[in-house]
Amino acid sequence: MNDMRVLERTVVSEAAKIKAEGVSVHYGSTQALKEVSVDILDRMVTAFIGPSGCGKSTFLRCLNRMNDTVASARVTGRITLDGEDIYAREVDPVQLRARVGMVFQKPNPFPKPIYDNVAYGPRIHGLVRGKAEMDALVEASLRRAALWDEVKDRLTSPGTGLSGGQQQRLCIARAIATSPEVLLMDEPCSALDPIATAQVEELIDELRSEFAVVIVTHSMQQAARVSQKTAFFHLGNLVEYGETGQIFTNPGDPRTESYISGRIG
């Protein structure tokens, strides 16, 4: 089955941006993720779905080494970004996270002005020189996050004073300001109203023209709406990975079917 929507955007790619091979994660003695192998395609939105505790967020957090911050977590297997092992000793996790950005479930702007929220990443990574260049980057990032028109007159007000939807778009602007190659989103819309959700979803679809997006969501409809590829996780296993239209009309695995159609499984 072909996803007709892919044709709407000019950029289509079959190239793997991230390759995971046999990735397992243990938290202490419990295994949260079991031998997951998957290719995340460049310039595509990949949705991770599955019941709570299925390992989807754990796997997402492996992709930019967020699990490094969890003392009990042990990650095995191999994850490569453009063919380079991201767990190699010489890789600096902070540099990696500039390339693989992340947006969280709850909007978490810094308690700083809107401008500084966006400027923070580029500043610490030394991506720009001078005020003019920074101004241009902040504006461009806010525009790409579809927030510029709403905040251009109050860039010095705190980011925490924005509405929930605006805060989340601010976090997206902050994440894309470092020009990442991959954007990870962990339930980015679960705290947003339907209108803010629609704005973020439209944004996700636009961002796809520039980089790979991976989104973890509990909303089946959201996965169906925004993604081209869907991966279903269950009990730490990657059960099924395929084209989103196929997963939602004709899934191959009975566990996928049970889960997406709201059955006891």
Q: Taking CB under 8 A as the rule, does residue 258 contact other proteins?
A: yes
Q: Taking CB under 8 A as the rule, does residue 53 contact other proteins?
A: no
Q: Looking at 3-11, 58-66, 201-209, 247-255, which segment touches other proteins (CB under 8 A)?
A: 247-255
Q: Please give the size of the binding site for other proteins, defined by CB under 8 A.
A: 17
Q: Which helix (H) or strand (E) holds 220?
A: helix 220-226
Nearest distance from C-beta of residue 259 to other proteins, angstroms: 9
Closer of 66 and 224 to other proteins (Cβ): 224
Q: Spell out, one character per residue from 55 to 74, where the chain touches other proteins: x when CB under 8 A holds, - when not.
A: --------------------
Closer of 83 and 262 to other proteins (Cβ): 262
* Residues 238, 37 contacting (CB under 8 angstroms): yes
Q: Spell out, one character per residue from 218 to 237, where the chain touches other proteins: x when CB under 8 A holds, - when not.
A: --xx--x-------------
- Tell me whether strands 73-81 and 84-85 are parallel, antiparallel or unpaired: antiparallel
CA distance 173 to 142: 5
Q: Each residue of 93-118: b (16+ CB within 10 Å) or e? A: eeebbbbbbbbbbebebbeebbbbbb
Q: Taking CB under 8 A as the rule, does residue 260 contact other proteins?
A: yes
Closer of 53 and 254 to other proteins (Cβ): 254
Determine the 3-state secondary structure of 223 from DSSP: helix
Nearest distance from C-beta of residue 262 to other proteins, angstroms: 5
Residues 6+ apart with CB under 8 A from 53: none
* Residues pairing with 19 in the sheet: 39, 80
CA distance 232 to 172: 25
Is the Cα dihedral 156, 162, 166, 168 positive or negative? positive
Q: Taking CB under 8 A as the rule, does residue 265 contact other proteins?
A: yes
Q: Taking CB under 8 A as the rule, does residue 264 contact other proteins?
A: yes
Q: Looking at 15-23, 148-156, 234-242, 246-254, which segment touches other proteins (CB under 8 A)?
A: 246-254
- Interaction site with other proteins (CB under 8 A): 220-221, 224, 248-251, 254, 256-258, 260-265
